Amino acid sequence: MKLKFRHVVLFLLILLDLLLAPLVLKLPLFLKGQGFKPGLEAWKKEVLARPLAGPAILLKDTKMRQIWIWLQPAFGAAAISILWPATRRKSKARDDIGGPEAAGQGQHGTARWRTRKEIAATLAVWRLPGGPPGGGVVMGFARQPFYTAWLDAGDTHVLLLGATRSGKSRRVIIPTILTLALAGESMVITDPKGELYQITSTYLQRRGYDVVKIDLRDPYRGNRWNPLEPVIRGLGKRDHTAASQAAWDMANIITHQQPHHGDSIWPQSQESLTAALALAVAAEALPEGKHLASAYALLTTLGAGGGEKLDAYFRRFPQDHPARAAYGVAALSEERLRSSIFTGTAAQLRLWADPAVAWLTAVQDHNLAGAGKKKTAVFLLIPDERENRHVLASLYIAQAYQALADAARGQGGLPLRVNFLLDEFGNLPPIPGFDKKLTVAAGRGMRFLLALQDLAQIKSRYKEAAGTITGNCATWVYLATADVETARVISAKTGQYTVRTESYSSQVRAASDYSSGTTEGLTGRPLLLPDEVLRWPKGEALVLQTGQNPARLPLADLSEWPVAGDLTPAATENPDRGVITAPPVWLPGPPAGGGKTAVKDDTGPDVISDL
């Protein structure tokens, strides 16, 4: 129904209400006093004689006026039904989001916005201050008319898209942390600004959580973690397969922390050399020297001068040892290539020449699989100003996932669900096999929230696997983007619906020969055009779930939540660790000496000459 026509119908309804309704109300009086046929004729004569007498009847006849007033709700409902589509359309035009009303019978698409009833059926509705219906990712929050949050509490992964300053942390991630805390679920959280730890850690501790902080900005302030631990554990159990796989996974992340261009032989050779060094150190070093700083020292010391000393060292391992097998690619390389392989690998491992990083990664002080059994929140504080340390976050996430997957094996999943809340996921070096990990994670009791600024970030990191990763996220939450391609994808995901079109034509053959006409048709239109996606209003979330129509939900800032007053910022002072010293770095001694000497305690023969 067009807007002008609706106005005409409303005007006619008002005229009928004021002019005709009072006259119709008098008809029963005529029929009662004069009989049916005479009364009907008398009523017709009065109506024809005084067709505009309705208002006068209402003013003079109290009884008629009371009956007329009782009928007004019905007329009001009719007026609202006429005006409601216009009101709805006007509301959409007010923020320039969305198109005209649907038309036709869905010939070009049937997409529409989800109703409140449908939202309640597809998302968990939480009335605060009561407890949440389950652990879930916050999709929306409003405080009027009463505190209400909408959660995705299912075993589905979530993709959160929001440009810088769009409110990803304060509107989604921090409220999600608080919600999961009330539900008692574990979390592994990347924290680029340190804000998430600062705001929520004290609250989590009060709720009985073990809070682990891996501080990559200031390593001396937090917990410690040794990336070689799974390799050491595998070799200790004589499980060479597990040890080798852990070493290769770690080497892959370290090697591919930056994109490689050109011949693939270079990254493959560097990866094999890194794995070999890790396996060698895990197998032979003294306990206090089993860390990656020793691997870096082993390469830079024995790999100099053509690498003959490093060749001799690896030949000391049995033929079937995984360290010797991993070194095979480097051993077979030509002399002119070897220098480049060694130099490239040393460049990848140079991070462990940093004393703070060496100290952080020399000792393991917590169980990576513990989050699957006991309420735990792990914060990875990632410095945006030191991009070379980002690889440590990817390493931790990959190893935590593997430890939890091993714990879930054979028991149908983890006893306690673990949520990976990965803010600025697109800035982290790629995690090997992440697309496959995401595919099976939910069945093992692990759920991921991947926060990106735009889709280009994940495409640049994961290449062909990017589509699988985003496709495994059954729920998308969109806040804002400046990327046109991301806006096009979001627009396409909202779906198309059918709208009416009008075309006007005119033709002039002569001064007195003029004709014109209007033609109506149907066409398809996305529920949101790309430019409307780019102009999406702040403070609202666009929720896209597989198999459901899009939903538009309010999304208030953290300060609007009733729990905001309970959040006490964490203290930032250094923990009392006493005197911090660099970890001892191990290098192999001569074969006769057993090869178990830490450099700082080495009083044996010269390492280089003995090899």
| Nearest to 422, CA basis, from 463, 451, 461 | 451
Whether residue 336 is contained in a domain is answered as yes
Tens of pLDDT, residues 479-535 = 999 999 999 999 999 999 999 888 777 676 666 666 667 787 888 899 999 999 999
List the strands of the sheet with 148-152, edge to edge: 124-127, 148-152, 137-142
Identify which of 395, 310, 390 has the alpha carbon closest to the alpha carbon of residue 345.
310
Domain's final residue, options 78, 94, 110:
94
Measured in whole angstroms, the distance separating CA 35 from the mean position of its chain's CA atoms is 77
SS3 at position 552: strand
Q: What percent of the chain has pLDDT over 70?
A: 90
Query: What are the tens digits of pLDDT across the range 379-432?
Result: 999 998 888 899 999 999 999 999 999 999 988 899 999 999 999 999 999 998
- DSSP reduced 3-state for 143: coil
The answer to whether residue 477 is domain-embedded is no
Q: Where are the alpha helices (DSSP H) in 154-239?
A: 174-183, 195-206, 229-236
User: What is the chain's length?
Assistant: 611
Give pLDDT, residue 577: 61
Give the tens place of pLDDT for each residue, 30-69: 777 778 788 778 778 877 878 777 788 777 778 777 887 8
Is residue 231 in a domain? Answer: yes
In a domain, 123, yes or no: no
Q: Is the model's pLDDT at 446 over the cut of 80?
A: yes
For residue 525, the cross-strand partners are 497
Structural domain contains residue 8:
yes
What's the rounded Cα separation, in Å, for the pair 85 and 373? 53
pLDDT for 531-586, tens place per residue?
999 999 999 999 999 999 999 999 999 999 999 988 988 876 555 565 677 899 99
Do the domain assignments include residue 510?
no
Read off the pLDDT of each residue in 151-155 and give the average, rounded to a whole number: 95
Q: Rounded mean pLDDT of 254-265?
A: 75
Quote the mean pLDDT of the chain.
87
| Dist. CA 278–CA 248, nearest whole Å | 9
Domain boundary among 66, 94, 122: 94
Q: How many structural domains are present in the chain?
A: 2
- 179-238 confidence digits (pLDDT tens): 999 999 999 999 998 999 999 999 999 999 999 999 999 999 999 999 999 999 999 999
Domain final position from 94, 127, 162: 94
Q: Which residue has the higher pLDDT, 49 or 158?
A: 158
pLDDT at 502: 80
> Cβ(279)–Cβ(323) under 8 Å?
yes
Rounded Cα distance, 88 and 287, in Å: 70
Q: Is 199 a member of any domain?
A: no
Residue 490 counted as domain residue: no
Q: Name the residue range of residue 9's domain.
A: 3-94
Q: How far apart are CA 167 and CA 539, in angstroms?
A: 8
